[in-house]
Amino acid sequence: RKEVEQDPGPFNVPEGATVAFNCTYSNSASQSFFWYRQDCRKEPKLLMSVYSSGNEDGRFTAQLNRASQYISLLIRDSKLSDSATYLCVAYETANAGNMLTFGGGTRLMVKP
């Protein structure tokens, strides 16, 4: 089974800091990628889609490096409300259908 791997953390950062997470994927056929945010005991919510080299949305920047098979998520000016688990997802098309593989998540804790 192809895998998506993330550092589980936790990443403890002060408010206002910049923090970056990496996610590596083993299947070179993976076509698109997503970052989800999951709060404790809640469902994952889509944060960003990464279809090409990268994507930026406000304080959040996602980048894709196909040669090295990793994607990253950069959060600038961290807020207390950014504390959550961030899930990386790789999407590949297989004969049996569309296959999404989730990483185990990286936990972020932003401290005042």
Partner 1 sequence: SQTIHQWPATLVQPVGSPLSLECTVEGTSNPNLYWYRQAAGRGLQLLFYSVGIGQISSEVPQNLSASRPQDRQFILSSKKLLLSDSGFYLCAWSVLNSSPLHFGNGTRLTVT
Instruction: Rule CB under 8 A: choose which of 23, 25, 83, 105 binds partner 1.
Output: 105
Q: Which of residues 2-31 bind partner 1 (CB under 8 A)?
A: 31
From residue 20, alpha-carbon distances to 24, 50, 86 in Å are: 13, 15, 11
Question: Near partner 1 by CB under 8 A, which window of 15-23, 62-70, 71-79, 96-104?
Answer: 96-104
The burial class, CB within 10 Å (0-12 / 13-18 / 19+), for 106 is: buried
Nearer to partner 1, 36 or 78 (CB): 36
Give the nearer residue to partner 1 in terms of CB position, either 3 or 56: 3
For residue 31, CA distances in Å to 25, 53, 69, 88, 90 come to 11, 12, 11, 14, 7
Q: Which of residues 55-94 bind partner 1 (CB under 8 A)?
A: 87, 89, 91, 93
Q: Does 49 help bind partner 1 (rule: CB under 8 A)?
A: yes
**CA distances to 33, 39, 94, 102 from 46, in Å:** 11, 12, 23, 13
Q: Interface residues with partner 1 (CB under 8 A)?
A: 31-32, 34, 41-46, 49, 51, 87, 89, 91, 93, 96-98, 100, 102-105
